[in-house]
Amino acid sequence: MSVATAKSRGARRFANLAETTHALLRRKLGTSRDAGVVGRPHGDTRDGRVSGIRGHADGKTVSESARVVIGADGRHSLVAKSVRPAQYHEKPPVQVSYYSYFSDLPSDAFEVYIRPHRGWAAMPTHDGLTLVIAGWPIAEFDQNRKDIEGNYFKVFDLLPAFARRMARAKREARFAGTSVPGYFRKPFGPGWALVGDAGYNKDFITGMGILDAFRDAELCTSALDATFSGRSPFEEAMLIYQRTRDEQALPMYE
């Protein structure tokens, strides 16, 4: 058995950044969705070609045309479902994790604990809360999901000192978590592009989702700028986006 504890002020900054960014994005996307169009790509999607979106806004059916429709809509992307891009580097789920936020659980470090077939971590985050995530092998997914809370807290019994800290803490949010497969998708085609989880997904235990999404958005934006300005053909510019994304993402993915 082994235990690792890393003390880092950087861990506090990272956790705060992630939670603050999540909240800001949820508020912004919620506002945009209420005021904008919710719909599916349209065009000859049978051969992977997109020319806009068709959907609804304020109870009315609307269509919007675009040179490129960008799918930044997560693992279950409507754009990806419509165009069915090629997938590669696929991996099955290997573990399942659940997390929540706790008050009265002081921590000034990013703590990691590893035990046989179990692992958990705690990190300070926003508003005086500490995020605690615990996980187990994918083989136990179906059985343990019947009692997520019970199995989650049972993990900490493997380290009584930590279990006592958790017993004094108060959970301030619902449990969140699951298990996800890994994949890379070709992130572009005629009239469409994918960024973030829509185009590439890995086990969320890495905590890299937001950073990867921002990286993809920047790379994709640069490629489209090169296309729209006439500096590079669409296919050439987007291939650079794909290759750069894959080169940067694969080390952590593997």
* Residue 49 confidence (pLDDT): 77
Same domain, 112 and 137: yes
- The domain tally of the chain equals 2
Residue with tokens 């985050």: 125
Same domain, 101 and 168: yes
Residue 75 falls within a domain, yes or no? yes
The beta strands (E) that lie in the chain are given as 2-6, 38-42, 52-57, 60-65, 69-71, 87-91, 95-103, 110-115, 118-124, 130-137, 170-171, 176-178, 182-185, 188-189, 192-194, 200-201
Q: Find, among 178, 227, 230, the residue nearest to 203 by Cα.
A: 178
Same domain, 99 and 171: yes
* Residue 238 confidence (pLDDT): 98
Q: What is the mean pLDDT of each run of 10 residues along the chain (254 residues)?
A: 47 51 58 47 64 78 86 90 94 93 92 94 91 95 94 96 97 92 95 94 81 94 97 98 96 87
* Residue 207 confidence (pLDDT): 74
Residue 25 falls within a domain, yes or no? no
Residue 20 falls within a domain, yes or no? no
Domain range enclosing 74: 36-91+185-253
Which of 160, 178, 196 delimits the end of a domain? 178
Same domain, 73 and 126: no
Which of 146, 178, 210 delimits the end of a domain? 178
Would you call 150 exposed, middle or buried from its count of C-beta atoms within 10 A (0-12, 13-18, 19+)? exposed
Same domain, 204 and 171: no
Same domain, 135 and 249: no
Which pairing describes strands 95-103 and 170-171: parallel, antiparallel, or unpaired? antiparallel
Residue 57 falls within a domain, yes or no? yes
Residue with tokens 């806004």: 57
CA distance 236 to 67: 16
* Residue 194 confidence (pLDDT): 96
Same domain, 108 and 7: yes
Residue 104 falls within a domain, yes or no? yes
Same domain, 174 and 98: yes
Same domain, 103 and 172: yes
Which of 133, 163, 178 delimits the end of a domain? 178
Residue 27 falls within a domain, yes or no? no
pTM for the model stands at: 0.78
Same domain, 82 and 99: no
Question: What are the residues whose beta carbons fall under 8 Å from the beta carbon of 71, sequence distance 6 or more?
Answer: 41, 77, 78, 79, 80, 192, 193, 194, 195, 198, 199
* 217, amino acid identity: A
* Residue 39 confidence (pLDDT): 57
* Residue 100 confidence (pLDDT): 95
Same domain, 7 and 105: yes
Q: What is the CATH number of the domain that holds 192?
A: 3.50.50.60
* Residue 150 confidence (pLDDT): 96
Same domain, 225 and 157: no
Residue 210 falls within a domain, yes or no? yes
Q: What is the CATH number of the domain that holds 128?
A: 3.30.9.100
Q: Find, among 182, 241, 254, 183, the residue nearest to 215 by Cα.
A: 241
Residue 125 falls within a domain, yes or no? yes
* Residue 132 confidence (pLDDT): 96
